[in-house]
Amino acid sequence: MEQAERIAIDGPAGAGKSTVGERLARCLGYLYIDTGAMYRALTWLALQRGLDPHDGEALGRLAREASIVIGYPHIDDGRQYTVTVNGEDVTWAIRSPEVTRTVSLVSSHPEVRRVLIEAQRALARAGRVVMVGRDIGAVVLPDAELKIYLTASLEERGRRRYAELLERLGRDHPALPSFEEVLADIRRRDEIDRDNMQPAPDAIVIETDHLSVAQVLERICHIRGKR
């Protein structure tokens, strides 16, 4: 019987974790788990409830009581998965500028991380999973059989994120931020995420500035095949 395998893909905002991780999971027939979506879902709920994003104790309680589920994409609208919070579909709502502005602060609290990391580990217990985030290889799944850390320059990650928002929202959309605003947001999130975003010592770092998604996937499959 093929060994159950856990693949961790970490890296900063816009490095390509979700895109590469989802395609890799689909190619291998593995479960795909975007842990960032879990932090975003909790942040969305906290904003809905009017909680103070600085209040780690209240946010930890909310994380324990909330039902956050990442399931298969039952709607064909470009989503990678469906995220529900207490049964409400929030798949796109968790990508709002307000959630993006607040999620790193919410995620910085140990009370929040303790609860979500436990949930992430439970999801990975079956093995045959591709889990993406910031701290998967270093903290969540330290025994993962394959650990990849994707990175790219700030400017390249800004260009990618801006292009993604432009495609999703359209040039005339009132919520479309400027490239400078996108870059500033990524820089800010990098700073807040720093403590929870260090590559695991045994992670393989792939610098993706001059690589296409297909080339990144090819490198990961080559690395995995040599194991």
Ligand X SMILES: Nc1ccn([C@@H]2O[C@H](COP(=O)(O)O)[C@@H](O)[C@H]2O)c(=O)n1
Q: Which residues bind ligand X (CB under 6 A)?
A: 13, 35-36, 39-40, 103-104, 107, 133-135, 189, 193, 196
137 lies in the binding site for ligand ATP (CB under 6 A): no
48 is a contact residue toward ligand ATP (CB under 6 A): no
Distances in whole angstroms, Cα of residue 106 to Cα of each of 13, 57, 84, 121, 139: 16, 11, 18, 20, 18
Rounded to the nearest whole angstrom, what is the least distance from the CB of residue 207 to ligand X in the complex? 19
Q: Give phi and psi for 147, each to the nearest 5.
A: -125, 120
Q: How many CB atoms lie within 10 A of CB 15?
A: 24
4 a known binding residue?
no
| Dihedral sign, Cα of residue 80, residue 86, residue 89, residue 91 | negative
Q: How far is CA 104 from CA 83, 127, 137, 169, in A?
A: 18, 28, 19, 23
Q: Give the one entry of ligand ATP, ligand X, none that residue 91 binds, where binding means its C-beta sits below a cut-off of 5 to 8 angstroms depending on kind.
A: none
Alpha helices in the chain (DSSP H): 17-28, 35-49, 56-65, 97-107, 110-124, 154-169, 179-193, 213-225
Report if residue 211 touches ligand ATP, rule: CB under 6 A. Answer: yes
> Using the rule CB under 6 A, is 151 a contact of ligand ATP?
no
- Any known ligand binding at 96? no
The residue nearest ligand ATP at its CB is 16
- Confirm whether residue 17 is marked as ligand binding: yes
Q: Is 216 in the site for ligand ATP (CB under 6 A)?
A: yes
By CB under 6 A, the count of residues binding ligand ATP is: 17
Tell me: is residue 21 an annotated ligand-binding position: no
**What 8-state DSSP symbol labels residue 147?**
E
Coil vs helix vs strand at 25 = helix
* Min CB(17)–ligand ATP separation in Å: 4
14 is in an annotated binding site: yes
Residues tagged in the binding site annotation: 11-19
Residues tagged in the binding site annotation for ATP: 11-19
**Residues at the site binding ligand ATP, with contacts judged by CB under 6 A:** 11, 13-19, 36, 160-161, 164, 208, 211-213, 216
